[in-house]
Amino acid sequence: MSKNTRMTKQRKAILEVLKDTDVHPTADWIYEKVKEEIPNISLGTVYRNLNVLSEMGEIMILDYGSTYSRFDGVPNNHYHFQCTECEGVFDLDIPHKDSLNDKIENNTEFEVKDHRLEFYGICPNCQEQDSN
């Protein structure tokens, strides 16, 4: 229960670097930054702490779960649902809202070309399994 709760200087430094920036950095960027303060910190420690901090709810990891790419034979824009249990990806039958791009473009300085909307949860199949 009281696991992973030591606030080491490494963990603290990593958290501070992340809280002090809004660039959504990569692990390596964080590593370089923290090295200014703790020169002999190792990249492994950075990764370990990022995972711990995310479990603690202090930070968010912006990866997409699975490490491997998926391929789609339908090269149109459409939205997806991804099951967090079986990792399956399903097409959603709701229309692609191109107007969303315009909405952002009109309210920011960004030039918006595309967007991507993905839902996460449990697919019907895994719901059944769970109730066993």
Residues that bind its own copies in the complex, under the rule CB under 8 A: 15, 18-28, 30, 50, 54, 57-64, 68-75, 80-81, 83-84, 88-94, 100-101, 104-105, 107-124, 127
Q: CB under 8 Å to 87, separation ≥6 — which residues?
A: 65, 66
> Out of DNA, its own copies, none, which partner does residue 65 contact, by CB within 5 to 8 A per kind?
none
Number of Cβ within a 10 Å radius of residue 13: 20
Nearer to DNA, 71 or 110 (CB): 71
Q: At what angle do helices 43-55 and 27-35 cross, to 10 degrees?
A: 110
Nearer to its own copies, 8 or 61 (CB): 61
The answer to whether 82 and 118 are in contact (CB under 8 A) is yes
15, 52, 53, 123: residue in contact with DNA (rule CB under 7 A): 52
> Out of DNA, its own copies, none, which partner does residue 107 contact, by CB within 5 to 8 A per kind?
its own copies
**Total binding residues for DNA by CB under 7 A?**
30
Closest among 62, 66, 109 to 85, alpha carbons compared = 66
Q: How far is the CB of 43 from DNA (least distance, A)?
A: 6
The answer to whether 81 and 123 are in contact (CB under 8 A) is yes
